[in-house]
Amino acid sequence: MKQRIPIQRRIRAGKDFATVLPALLFLGLFVYYPVVQVVRISFTNWNLINDNYSYVGLKNWVWLFQGSGTKYLINSFKVTALFTLGELSITIIGGMIFAVILNRITTSFSVMRALIFLPKYIAMSSAAVVFIWILNTQNGILNFLLAQFGKAPVNWLGDKNRALFSILMLTGWRTVGYGMMIYIAAMRGISKNYYEAASIDGATKWQQFTQITIPILSPTTLFLFVTTFISAMKVFQSVDVMTAGGPYRSTEVIVYMIYKYAMEDFRMDRASTIAVVFFLVLLAITAATMKISNKRVNYDA
Amino acid sequence: MMHNIDERQQALLLNEKSIKKRKISTGIQYTLAILVTIFMLFPLYWMLISSVKSQEEILRALPTFWPHEWHFENYKNVLQRANFSKYYYNTVVMTAGILISQVVTGVLAAYGFSKGKFKAQKFLFLLVLGALMIPLQVTFIPLYIMFANWKLTDTFLGLILPEMVSPYFIFMMRQAFLTVDDSYIEAAKLDGMGRLGIITKVLVPMCKSTLITITLVTFTNGWNSYFWPKIIAKNEVRRVLTVGLVHLRNTFAGLDTMNNHEIMAGAVLSILPVIILFFIFQKYMLTGYEKTAMK
């Protein structure tokens, strides 16, 4: 009797473990193992053109940090940072403005909100080809509309000072509705009492907005900031479809740089090195944002 | 007494004023909201009407905001000549594969991590969460080499395998299962139900809305995926819609505006299933992101 219980318990634990085993095996094989591999490849001279490879020590790392790769890495981080900043501003500021405009509980407003949120679900590649057509220099509708105000045609995607901005238009179109939905959900949770008390004290609508709404929404803003930050760092699709990193590397974000070295130049060694750097940066950002948000949560509680 | 009436009149007057003020602000809000909606819908509208225009009409110097003639054969051309019917088939099979495997592995693992009990449970769950921080953009190089060695390029298996397990799915489902009281599970056990019975007959029905929401997210992510399919299935045989659409555009890239009407038809075709789902399951698709946000 005494021995049967542990055995039964062990069988039960084994069966419970079996339910998580498939997931763990897959994550091990297709997520964790490749991370180890990508670090390993960064110390080799692996390219897909030769069959063999050998370990070359820090050669790729020297290339990336003290060689001809350095300026491209710096460029890519700069472009990615600019893009991230742009997407953050559109999602947070634009989302907040849209939320204020669309926060009303009627059927027509909920239909409008759904339509504004819809672009989030449109495949990036489809949205990108639509924007390429809208931004077309000769026949694009945007340049046509601008011409009505006497503006000369703008080369939206071919001008190195504008291309990133054009990509941000597309990105912003897809994410601003997301920011709006998140803000509206949070605004609904704010007690009416705050506003009533404030208006009795004679606070204007604007004062109420800046002194009640925005501070109360700061955890929501932080949430949007963190999630948007991480996803913006990983941008690839819009760049790949709209500009392919050009013109003159002006839109070559970090993931596009990795992709180009790996899939176009077949330099798996160099691409892996950049990928490892990118991974470390992502981890650092995640850790930093987690620390900030933990502090914030405690502070509020 | 006099004083009292005076106050009341004043209040009434103030009320009238504020009602008027409120009416104006309501009017402004409606106008702004409608403008914002039109602005946001314009790209979709432009895609739709461009997709039915003729080649001549689309290249006119003076763009038409409503097509003069309707050319639905653009769609036929895209499906047949540009082989979008093939891409459709590939996308459907890939998405179905990803969906089924993510639901099965996700629900099972969510059960184990919420209601199961085994050694190193916490640590293993941390491993699942850790996987959330390792994007495909970091691991695709070794994955590609591995899959090329396994001869999985341009195959369905190659498309599906890396997406078969979603840590996000496991995490969200586990959160939902945790809210189910253990007494339900004890009762089911007394009825002689095994683990699979408890999962399919107790937990899943009780967490139906979460499951639907996450499954819809999985579907759209699978349907819209681009990065990995572009790497592993470049060629016609297993090319999916997202990649095919960009391919269609690039084959004409040198000619610039030549076939934008057909590209737009392709764009409409590739987003159609997701849009239909969006309108059917609006309730779930709108709250999906909020739920994750409130976490």
Helix (H) or strand (E) holding B196: helix B195-197
Q: What is the pLDDT of residue B67?
A: 84
Contact assignment for A262 to B241 by CB distance below 8 Å: no
Q: What is the pTM assigned to this prediction?
A: 0.89
The two tokens of residue A191 are 């007690």
Name the minimum distance, in Å, from the CA of B295 to any CA of chain A: 10
Chain A residues whose CB is inside 8 A of the B264 CB are 129-130, 133
Q: What is the ipTM of this complex?
A: 0.89
Q: How far is A66 from chain B (nearest CA, A)?
A: 22
How would residue A299 be classed by pLDDT, with cut points 50, 70 and 90? very low
Instruction: Name the A residues in 162-181 with CB < 8 Å from any B CB.
Output: 173, 176-178, 181
SS3 (DSSP) at A237: helix
Largest CA distance in chain B: 96
A135 vs A118: CA distance, rounded Å: 21
Q: Which of A115, A130, A234 to mutate to test the interface with B (most CBs of B within 10 A)?
A: A130
Are B224 and A109 inside 8 Å of each other by CB? no
Cβ-Cβ contacts under 8 Å for B119 (sequence gap 6 or more): A13, A17
Angstroms from B117 CA to nearest CA on chain A:
6
- SS3 of chain B: helix, strand, coil, percent, to 5: 80, 0, 20
d(CA B86, CA B50): 23
Q: Which of B9, B21, B162, B234 is nearest to A30 (CA)?
A: B162
Please name which of B1, B39, B210 lies closest in space to residue B110, comparing C-alpha atoms. B210
CB-based contacts of A128, cutoff 8 Å, min separation 6: A170, A237, A238, A241, A242, B246
Amino acid letter, residue A110 = S
Tell me whether residues B141 and A31 touch, CB distance under 8 A: no
Q: Could you say which of A121, A240, A271 has the minimum Cβ distance to residue B285?
A: A121
Confidence category of residue B276, pLDDT binned at 50, 70, 90: very high
Beta bridge partners of A44: A55
What is the structure's pLDDT at B255?
A: 53
In the prediction, which pLDDT does A89 show?
96
Give the integer Cα–Cα distance in Å for A109 and A100.
12
Per domain, the residue ranges of chain A are 69-300
Please tell me the total number of residues recorded for chain A in this structure: 301
pLDDT range class, residue B295, cuts 50, 70, 90: very low
In this complex, the residue of A13, A19, A34 whose CB is nearest that of residue B111 is A19
Q: What CATH fold (topology level) applies to the domain A69-300?
A: MetI-like fold (1.10.3720)
Which has the higher per-residue pLDDT, B5 or B143? B143
Within 8 A of A16 by CB-CB distance, chain B residues are 112, 115-118, 195
- Find the mean pLDDT for residues B170-198: 89
Task: Report pLDDT digits (tens) over A234-286.
Answer: 999 999 999 988 788 999 999 999 999 999 988 899 999 999 999 999 999 98
Mark yes or no for CB contact A13/B58 under 8 Å. no
Between these two residues, B119 and B93, which has the higher pLDDT value? Answer: B93
Three-state secondary-structure class, residue A67: coil
As given in the structure block, the two tokens for residue A61 are 């790392």
C-beta neighbour count of B62 within 10 angstroms? 5
Give per-residue pLDDT as tens, B23-43: 888 899 999 999 999 999 999
Secondary structure (DSSP) of B34-92: HHHHHHHHHHHHHHHHHTTS-HHHHT-SS--SS-SS--THHHHHHHHTT-HHHHHHHHH
Chains A, B: CB contacts within 8 A come to 250
Give the distance from residue A67's alpha carbon to the nearest chain B alpha carbon, in angstroms: 22
* Angle at the Cα of B256 from the Cα atoms of B251 and B262, rounded to 5 degrees: 65
Average pLDDT over residues B183-187: 88
Q: Report how far residue A183's alpha carbon sits from residue A177's, in angstroms, rounded to the nearest whole number.
A: 10
Q: What is the predicted pLDDT for the residue at B288?
A: 58
- pLDDT for A228 equals 92
B191-242, pLDDT tens digit by residue? 888 888 888 888 988 998 889 989 998 999 999 999 999 999 988 889 999 9
Q: How confident is the model at residue B20 (pLDDT cuts 50, 70, 90)?
A: confident
Residue A55 β-bridge partners: A44
Tokens of B294: 């409130």
**pLDDT of A136-189, one tens digit each?**
888 888 988 998 898 888 889 888 889 999 999 999 999 999 999 999 988 888
Q: Are A118 and A263 in contact (CB under 8 A)?
A: no
What average pLDDT does chain A have? 89
Instruction: Decide if domain B73-294 falls under CATH 2.60.40.10.
Output: no
Chain A hits for B246, Cβ within 8 Å: 125, 128-129, 240-241
How many Å separate Cα A16 from the centre of its chain? 36
Backbone dihedral angles phi then psi of residue B60, each to the nearest 5 degrees:
-65, 145
What's B201's DSSP letter?
I
